């Protein structure tokens, strides 16, 4: 073996190991669930856990194994349709709102399907095979499965929330009481021409490319996302009853769906509680607010006299902060409170809505073939979220990562971070003060 | 013990035995099903099997045990809401369309709930207790559960039909080939003042009472329900494309839902097949047609130059036939073919739509208390079916039994029997001949 | 001319006169309306006044003139589709919910269309023509137009009610204050075998035939319909918040549509007002309650400890009363108060919901040809109303007349009359007393 | 008078003149319409012409007159609600989908309302009054009314299209046959940091501000919009049956609404015709394609191997072209064919979808008070169109003008212009050639 071949082989073996780890992690996520838990679908946007288990497997079977492994015996030909999510080029699909109609194949069968595909992937990744494209597709499949790990958790949370028994996904744990974080600070970014998007090292989805230049003006961004306590002040100030805070479409949605708080929040005896993967819990005022729609994030920002950052401002600020090592620290710690000082920009606790509509980067080219449907065709009427949440697989955090959802979506771990314009000549930013604006100011 | 007390005790012990038998039969019905099969809800009209298991138990707990058994420990207080079907007087109800959101309580828990209630009912029925009202309520609960046994099967069939894998509920069995029945014969009934409704001996639902007089004119009724083969001729004659055969509401429904055959029928290579509890099967042309809406039954009858019987005609004819022993014979044999001659009136193979809107009998009084909601409040926009199907518990067939569904409902085992007026002075009825009317006759 | 021919000619000339009168009356009804008033459609169930003007004309053109008048020049071939209501045999139809999309043809054009058809009908009815079928169809067309006269008024009332300006159709007139009527009395009918339906003399719709026998048990019926004041007592007693008063489908409808009073009722400062053709008016407590759905009529009756009459009871009672001359007196007087004594059975002030589902009479045969679609195909999920309202053309009242609407319909002039069973051996009926039942009685 | 005062007075008199001209033009637009035409509403997105007449008047009354003119007698207090479009700060609004329920006030009353307000505005603009804010608000109201002039035409076109009689708004005129334009040419723009947005001279809506810098890379843009003939080639190539051309949301919309061509297109005997303000017309293959949704514009561009321009590219290119005098030339000529050569960038014949989601410019501040609801609150799930159409008032064309609609909207005069990326080092652009890509290329 040449040195190059040796390195490729080592990379591949590492890839095989990552494949096994990620697949095992998915199955660990469903371990606390019954077959019934895994089969139900709580709304068209959500999928049964069993479907996630099967679809991620279908992805490897359809895009990696079938085109390459001679004599591969398909586990069940019907799955080609049943577990196709949205790939028109692959053919027919079982309708999304009917994913919860499938009591069969049952859970053990789906687990057998996973094992069947895992064996075949194992062969694809044997060192002797030198197919570079395979490695790329397996890498994509791994990242795809990691995305579904988070979706599986948000979908299960939604399903359990529909059950009046309020069952918990995981055993409640008593978290150590958090020390109140300092008041969030504004961090100033000087602007300029920023390089946005993935630069080619390591994996990225196609929608993170190509890297391109964006002109950014000077702005300020909050050091941490908005907390539950801060958001509760917005509610207390009548935030859900003041149309002047809301986009027209948001106000209409709020009225149609009778929103009066974030998804999963309930008020008992004047105190806020929230339904979580640990069941009903007291709301920690210092934890970042979760389960906001874009509309709510935007309304909060307007109420606070600020705005959402663009995804470009977010990426530029994080990239700068990373040079100081702050990025991802929050996630690593598993909490949202700031441990090392309010001046550090931190993220990774909650997805953060940006003001940027999800659109292709200049020069974007979707991949050839069915894989090209992965991201590009969804670039309409959705908004970009940046960061990452407690449900995001650790290795999945990335400064260029673009998550995206429709503006009314609330069942993700989605929150809000503030930004604001800077008038030229303004001195350095001061701490964010009481953001509540007096009611009489808002007559407009 | 006096003689009377002895007889009461014996009756009660027999009731206890019937209770056990019926409860065991329900559980036998779900034996071929997985926990996932039992949890899913395929449409708002249908309920998960698990819900049927629990609701029938809730009925005994709520109406028999709770008001009577001192110190009874409710299995789970949340069930009072979760498994209340529609009893406003009992209180809040989990919304019907969300019965399929309940992955918890899981199937083993529901079976434990059943056992818990069974033990308590056992005590209620101990010979020492002389509560006559208990016996009546337990009797009602038994009949209620038998109704749900049939619903459980129709609901499971509907669920499995939504699955592209076409799973069978029960192992396919090769039925012995049927001999073609003779052409159905018209049987003439002389009319007159008939006694309609339950006469007081044995159990009946309140909607079968009070017995009352109805004036019926001379009519003729077919000796057996319409067969698959006969119905297929209606389809072949363009029945689903001819508005003149249909009620206006039926035609609208047909167009909105794109009906072109009975529910579960599919045409492959020019041959009809149907999805059944045994999976996809060839259609037996001699078996009674099933899964018709009222609209289809009515349209078929109009096409055939006949009409549906009223429920009064049906009951009067069956009562007369019973004196000859024919009633229920079909069901007992488990087939729809006539074994002993076309002249015998037979039913029990399929529910038969009548032309009668579901309405209270003159002098009808709903029972006092919540039980009064059992039947009376549904007497609007539904039509009465008479007879019984292969899924109807054997002891449940009754000449006064009034089944009822909305005219668009098709997921029950519902078919059609013809009737027709008789002009005075007409000779005895002749055999039903080719019912197909030439297209040019129907210009109206 | 022979004597027979002379009589036929005289009858025809009388028919021609009635044709002209009825046509002129329709146009008089739209005289207070602007072109805009005549063009709008307030809901799919209602039609623009202009459409009524055109459709009734289309009826004569399509069913009388076109098949008979050689060389007749159709006014506009497009009208065959535009103004076909529901006759499948005639061909395509402009969709009902889009009748309000037709700003053209404009009102003057439609009036010209009417004149054009009137001229052609005139020729059909010339004494020289001896076509008996023509006379029958013109008679049908006249009665058809009279039905649309009432619909035109109910539809205009509904349209104006949607306008926040609350415009009046007609100038408000101050009605003379009514003297309180005596408490309504129960009138007893002995039952027996009644002859129901039209007996052949004079015009009737096909759904009133054939005359047939119905067995009726002894019953009692209220001498007059329920008044506004009596209905208000039901509301005050929480009638719209008590599910035990309502059919299940009615309760569901009430909740979905948030009903809390009859259509057009509004409470201002504790007093009821109603929107009428004269604009917003104080509610006269002695006038019959109007704009009830079947569900409300039925719920009121249940609350009052009574029930709705069947259409057979209604017809039998009215026929008996007519022998005493009472029937129609209310209408002739144009008021609902009883003038001659509470013991007289009176109707004609408001349509009265009966408990009878709209169904064909035994032996019913729809007419041949497209005209056969007039009534028969609507016999599903509708309920029969008897009587007649202030908007019913005077000559249109008839003891056998069967009006019918869906149970949720409220925009007609529809009210309620009570009936009740009689236990054998009960003495003569006493006056209807306070019908309010105490709340604690209704726990069932 | 000082010189400054003189100039202000002259400006105001000119403003008064423009006010009168614009108001008169609106009334001229409805001159061909009947009262019925003006009253109907064809869909919730569209408004009756009468409503446009009233709402534009309400705008002046509410925002200019009421706050300023002492003793002003409101024409009708109910109009405050009836004709408020969406201003939450003004108060309640008549629901948008019910604008077509208002037969009253009738058309003459609305014209009287206009005259009443015109008189009051006349006083506000008398030279003696020196209120600069008034001038700004009147200017806004004039531009507002000009926007509604175009909406009035698109809404009338939609209404007439719903009428099977296919009435024309205006008399058909035979247009001179067009000479085929040259093949469209790509024009290259060098990119760089562009100044985007209004610079302060003359009127602009708030959403065109503030002027700001945007970095643009080198790109090419087509000299003219896509023509009917070119779009028909897309249809012929199966464009509406190939999911790979479409955004996922677009494909879903196409299937739900069964789109197979632009709105108003119909194929007769293999030839395309279109419903226009002149009635049904032959399609001119050289005229720009109209009545596309964003989805169709985007799909066409993808099929053609190109893309939509961003609104920044569009503005930068037009601004450059204006220096050469080309901008608006098309509109002035009233045709879409190029008169002076394919190399000139021309627009103004049709609104052009850009790929830019409608979002606030950096530093955007909505105006204070209710007027602040004019634009800002709609910045979600809409896309920007640039240019202007044959229905756009002449003085309303502006290089910074941002029109915006939801991506599924098709009833505007909306078309498409192509753009494409430029690989560095590519020579000058060549003519756009046959854009049809062979089917086998598109397997992805």
Q: What does chain B come to in residues?
A: 444
> Do B335 and B193 share a structural domain?
yes
Query: How confident is residue D444, by pLDDT bands cut at 50, 70 and 90?
Result: very low
Q: How many CA atoms lie within 13 A of D210 on its CB side?
A: 7
Nearest to D106 among C36, C42, C94 (CB): C36
Which residues in chain C are closer than 8 Å to B247, comparing Cβ atoms? 377-380
> Do B130 and B258 share a structural domain?
no
Report pLDDT for B332.
34
For residue D178, tell me if it sits in a domain: no
Instruction: Say whether pTM exceeds 0.80.
Output: yes
pLDDT digits (tens, 9 = 90+) for C273-288: 999 999 999 999 999 9
> Do C155 and C227 share a structural domain?
no
Instruction: Provide the 8-state DSSP code for B431.
Output: B
Instruction: Confirm if A168 and A298 have CB atoms less than 8 A apart.
Output: no
Highest-pLDDT range among A313-322, A409-418, C423-432:
A409-418
Rounded CA-CA distance D435/D245 in Å is 14
Q: How far is the alpha carbon of C411 from chain B, nearest alpha carbon, in Å?
A: 20
Q: Judge: D246–A377 Cβ closer than 8 Å, yes or no.
A: yes
Q: How far is the alpha carbon of B312 from chain A, nearest alpha carbon, in Å?
A: 40
Query: How confident is residue B329, by pLDDT bands cut at 50, 70 and 90?
Result: very low
Residue B380, preceding bond cis, omega within 30 degrees? no
For residue A180, tell me if it sits in a domain: no
**Residue D27 structural domain:** 3-161
Nearest to A215 among D193, D243, D360 (CB): D193
pLDDT digits (tens, 9 = 90+) for D140-188: 999 999 999 999 999 999 999 999 999 999 876 555 555 556 667 899 9
Report pLDDT for A397.
85
Rounded CA-CA distance A347/D401 in Å is 38
Report pLDDT for A193.
97
Q: How far is the alpha carbon of D399 from chain A, nearest alpha carbon, in Å?
A: 22
Closest CA to C331 of C315, C318, C350, C313: C350
Q: Judge: C106–D34 Cβ closer than 8 Å, yes or no.
A: yes
Q: What is the DSSP string of C106-131?
A: -HHHHHHHHHHHHHHHHHHT-TT---
Report pLDDT for A370.
86
Which residues in chain A are closer than 8 Å to B107, comparing Cβ atoms? 36
- Asked if residue B47 has pLDDT above 90, the reply is yes
Instruction: Confirm if A368 and A137 have CB atoms less than 8 A apart.
Output: no
> B406: domain CATH number?
3.90.1580.10
For residue D170, tell me if it sits in a domain: no
Which residues in chain A are closer than 8 Å to D312, comparing Cβ atoms? none
Which residues in chain B are closer than 8 Å to A35, comparing Cβ atoms? 34-36
Q: Judge: B88–C359 Cβ closer than 8 Å, yes or no.
A: no
Report pLDDT for B428.
56
> Do B327 and B221 share a structural domain?
yes
Higher pLDDT, C266 or C442: C266
> Do A337 and A221 share a structural domain?
yes
Instruction: Confirm if C153 and C29 have CB atoms less than 8 A apart.
Output: yes
Which residues in chain D are closer than 8 Å to A213, comparing Cβ atoms? 215, 217
Higher pLDDT, A294 or D397: A294
Report pLDDT for D130.
61
Average pLDDT on A381-397 reads 92
Q: Judge: B164–A39 Cβ closer than 8 Å, yes or no.
A: no
> Do B269 and B411 share a structural domain?
yes
Report pLDDT for D434.
39
Q: To which residue do tokens 């209710």 refer?
A: D370
Q: Judge: B39–A40 Cβ closer than 8 Å, yes or no.
A: yes
Q: Judge: D248–A381 Cβ closer than 8 Å, yes or no.
A: no
10 Å CB burial of residue D182 (0-12, 13-18, 19+) is middle
Rounded CA-CA distance D164/D266 in Å is 13
Average pLDDT on D260-280 reads 96
For residue D167, tell me if it sits in a domain: no
- Asked if residue A278 has pLDDT above 80, the reply is yes
> Do D304 and D232 share a structural domain?
yes
Report pLDDT for C179.
55
The residue out of A92, A127, A161 marking a domain boundary is A161
- Asked if residue B303 has pLDDT above 80, the reply is yes
Nearest to D357 among A246, A357, A373 (CB): A357
Phi, psi for residue B411 in degrees, rounded to 5: -85, -5
Rounded CA-CA distance D189/D207 in Å is 25
Question: To the nearest whole percent, how much of chain C has pLDDT over 90?
Answer: 74
Q: What is the DSSP string of B7-71?
A: HHHHHHHHHHHHHHHHHHHHHHHHTT--HHHHH---STTS--HHHHHHHHHHHHIIIIITTT-TT
Closest CA to B375 of B399, B404, B350, B354: B404
Rounded CA-CA distance B113/B27 in Å is 12
Instruction: Confirm if C416 and C307 have CB atoms less than 8 A apart.
Output: no
Report pLDDT for D8.
65
Report pLDDT for C180.
56
Q: What's the per-residue H, E or C state across chain D?
A: CCHHHHHHHHHHHHHHHHHHHHHHHHHHHHCCCCHHHHHCCCCCCCCCHHHHHHHHHHHHHHHHHCCCCCCCCCCCCCHHHHCCCCCCCCCCCCCHHHHHHCCCCCHHHHHHHHHHHHHHHHHHCCCCCCCHHHHHHHHHHHHHHHHHHHHHHHHHHHHHHCCCCCCCCCCCCCCCCCCCCCCCEEEEECCEEEEECCCCCCCCCHHHCCCEEEEECCEEEECCCCEHHHHHHHHHCCHHHCHHHCCHHHHHHHHHHCCCCCCCEEEECCEEEEEECCEEEECCCCCECCCCCHHHHHHHHHHCCCECCCHHHHHHHHHHHHHCCCCCHHHHHCCCCCCCCCCCCCCCCCEEEEEEECCCCCCCCCCCCHHHHCCHHHCCCCEEEEECCCCCCHHHCCCCCCEEECCCCCCCCEECCCEEECCCCCCCCCECCCCCCCHHHHCC
Closest CA to D318 of D184, D187, D182, D146: D187
- D270-280 exposure pattern, b = at least 16 Cβ within 10 A, e = fewer: eebbbbbbebe
10 Å CB burial of residue A333 (0-12, 13-18, 19+) is middle
Higher pLDDT, C321 or C232: C232
> Do A102 and A247 share a structural domain?
no
> A193: how many CB neighbours lie within 10 A of its CB?
12
Instruction: Provide the 8-state DSSP code for A186.
Output: E
For residue C177, tell me if it sits in a domain: no
Q: Do chains C and B touch (3 or more CB pairs under 8 A)?
A: yes
Q: Judge: A248–D366 Cβ closer than 8 Å, yes or no.
A: no
CB-based contacts of C28, cutoff 8 Å, min separation 6: none
Higher pLDDT, D298 or D333: D298
> Do C156 and C295 share a structural domain?
no
Report pLDDT for B176.
52
Report pLDDT for D323.
73
pLDDT digits (tens, 9 = 90+) for D39-66: 999 999 999 999 999 999 999 999 999 9
Average pLDDT on B113-124 reads 95
Least confident stretch, B420-424, C74-78, C330-334, D247-251: C330-334
Q: Please name the residue ranges forming H helices in B132-276.
A: 132-161, 228-236, 248-257
- Asked if residue B179 has pLDDT above 70, the reply is no
> Do B384 and B235 share a structural domain?
yes
10 Å CB burial of residue C421 (0-12, 13-18, 19+) is middle
Rounded CA-CA distance C59/D77 in Å is 44
- Asked if residue C10 has pLDDT above 90, the reply is no
Report pLDDT for A395.
77
Number of compact structural domains in chain A: 2
Report pLDDT for D151.
98
10 Å CB burial of residue D386 (0-12, 13-18, 19+) is buried
pLDDT digits (tens, 9 = 90+) for C140-156: 999 999 999 999 999 99
Mean pLDDT, chain C, rounded, equals 88
Instruction: Confirm if D54 and D110 have CB atoms less than 8 A apart.
Output: yes
Q: Please name the residue ranges forming H helices in B287-370.
A: 294-303, 311-323, 329-333
Report ipTM (2 d.p.): 0.90
For residue B290, tell me if it sits in a domain: yes
- Asked if residue D115 has pLDDT above 80, the reply is yes
Q: What angle do CA C415, C40, C349 make, to 5 degrees?
A: 20
**Alpha-carbon distances, residue D143 vs D66, D392, D394 (angstroms):** 19, 11, 11
- Asked if residue B274 has pLDDT above 80, the reply is yes
> Do C413 and C283 share a structural domain?
yes
Query: How confident is residue A367, by pLDDT bands cut at 50, 70 and 90?
Result: confident
Higher pLDDT, B442 or C407: C407
- Asked if residue B388 has pLDDT above 60, the reply is yes
> Do D197 and D55 share a structural domain?
no
Q: To which residue do tokens 């007693």 refer?
A: C237
- Asked if residue D133 has pLDDT above 70, the reply is yes
Closest CA to B441 of B297, B237, B183, B251: B237
Instruction: Confirm if B366 and B209 have CB atoms less than 8 A apart.
Output: no
- Asked if residue B434 has pLDDT above 80, the reply is no
Instruction: Confirm if D223 and D187 have CB atoms less than 8 A apart.
Output: yes
Q: Judge: A370–D444 Cβ closer than 8 Å, yes or no.
A: yes
The residue out of C106, C126, C161 marking a domain boundary is C161
For residue A48, tell me if it sits in a domain: yes
Nearest to A163 among B36, B103, B159 (CB): B103
- Asked if residue B146 has pLDDT above 50, the reply is yes
Q: Which positions in chain C have a beta carbon within 8 angstroms of at least one beta carbon in chain D? A: 34-40, 42, 78, 81-82, 94, 98, 100-107, 159-160, 162-165, 167
Rounded CA-CA distance D167/B210 in Å is 63
Interface with C, mutate which of B377, B404, B407, B441 (most C CBs under 10 A) = B377
> C14: domain CATH number?
1.20.120
* Dihedral of the alpha carbons of D287, D293, D295, D296, in degrees to the nearest 10: -30
Report pLDDT for C394.
79
Helix (H, G, I), strand (E, B) or coil at B338: coil
Q: How far is the alpha carbon of C175 from chain D, nearest alpha carbon, in Å?
A: 26
Instruction: Confirm if B408 and B392 have CB atoms less than 8 A apart.
Output: no
- Asked if residue C331 has pLDDT above 80, the reply is no
Nearest to A102 among B38, B78, B163 (CB): B163
Tokens of D9: 């007075």
Q: Which positions in chain D have a beta carbon within 8 angstroms of at least one beta carbon in chain A? A: 86, 88-89, 193, 212-215, 217, 243-244, 246-251, 294-295, 355-357, 359-360, 362-363, 366-370, 372-373, 377-381, 407, 421, 443-444
Tokens of B323: 């004196």
Which residues in chain D are closer than 8 Å to A363, comparing Cβ atoms? 217, 421
Closest chain D residue to the Cα of C99, Cα to Cα: D163
Question: For the packed helices C107-124 and C49-60, what is the interaxial angle rounded to 10 degrees?
Answer: 20
Average pLDDT on D392-402 reads 89
Nearest to C249 among B294, B380, B421 (CB): B380
Instruction: Confirm if D142 and D19 have CB atoms less than 8 A apart.
Output: yes
- B261-272 exposure pattern, b = at least 16 Cβ within 10 A, e = fewer: bbbbbeeeeeeb
For residue B176, tell me if it sits in a domain: no
* Alpha-carbon A300 to chain mean position: 20
Rounded CA-CA distance C288/C385 in Å is 15
């Amino acid at each position: 073996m040449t040195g190059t071949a040796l390195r490729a082989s080592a990379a591949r073996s590492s890839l095989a190991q990552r494949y096994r780890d990620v697949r095992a992690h998915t199955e660990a996520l469903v371990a606390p669930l019954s077959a019934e838990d895994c089969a139900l679908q709580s709304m068209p946007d959500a999928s049964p856990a069993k479907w996630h288990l099967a679809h991620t497997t279908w992805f490897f079977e359809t895009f990696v194994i079938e085109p390459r492994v001679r004599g591969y015996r398909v586990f069940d030909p019907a799955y080609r349709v049943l577990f196709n999510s949205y790939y028109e080029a692959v053919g027919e699909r079982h309708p999304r709102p009917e994913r919860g109609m499938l009591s069969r194949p049952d859970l053990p069968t789906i687990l057998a399907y996973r094992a069947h595909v895992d064996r075949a992937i194992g062969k694809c990744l044997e060192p002797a095979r030198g197919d570079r494209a395979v490695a790329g597709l397996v890498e994509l499949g791994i990242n795809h499965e990691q995305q579904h790990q988070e979706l599986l958790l948000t979908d299960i949370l939604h399903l359990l929330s529909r059950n009046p028994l309020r069952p918990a996904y995981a055993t409640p744990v008593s978290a150590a009481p958090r020390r109140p974080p300092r008041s969030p600070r504004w961090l100033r970014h000087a602007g300029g021409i920023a390089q946005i998007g993935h630069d080619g090292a390591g994996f990225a989805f196609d929608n993170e490319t190509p890297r391109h230049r964006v002109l950014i003006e000077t702005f300020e961004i909050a050091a941490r996302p908005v907390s539950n306590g801060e958001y509760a002040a917005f509610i207390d100030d009548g935030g859900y009853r003041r149309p002047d805070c809301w986009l027209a479409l948001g106000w209409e949605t709020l009225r149609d769906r009778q929103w009066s708080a974030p998804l999963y929040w309930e008020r008992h005896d004047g105190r806020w509680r929230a339904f979580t993967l640990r069941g009903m819990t007291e709301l920690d005022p210092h934890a970042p607010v979760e389960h906001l729609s874009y509309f709510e994030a935007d309304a909060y920002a307007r109420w606070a006299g600020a705005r959402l950052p663009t995804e470009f401002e977010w990426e530029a600020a994080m990239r700068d902060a990373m040079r100081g090592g702050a990025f991802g620290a929050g996630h690593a710690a598993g909490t949202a409170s700031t441990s090392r000082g309010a001046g550090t920009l931190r993220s990774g606790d909650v997805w953060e809505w940006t003001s940027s509509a999800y659109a292709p980067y200049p020069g974007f080219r979707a991949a050839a073939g069915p894989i090209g449907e992965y991201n590009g065709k969804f670039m309409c009427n959705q908004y970009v979220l940046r960061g990452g949440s407690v449900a995001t697989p650790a290795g999945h955090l990335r400064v260029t990562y673009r998550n995206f959802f429709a503006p009314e979506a609330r069942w993700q771990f989605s929150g809000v971070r503030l930004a604001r314009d800077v008038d030229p000549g303004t001195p350095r930013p001061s701490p964010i003060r009481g953001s509540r604006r007096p009611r009489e100011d808002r007559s407009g």
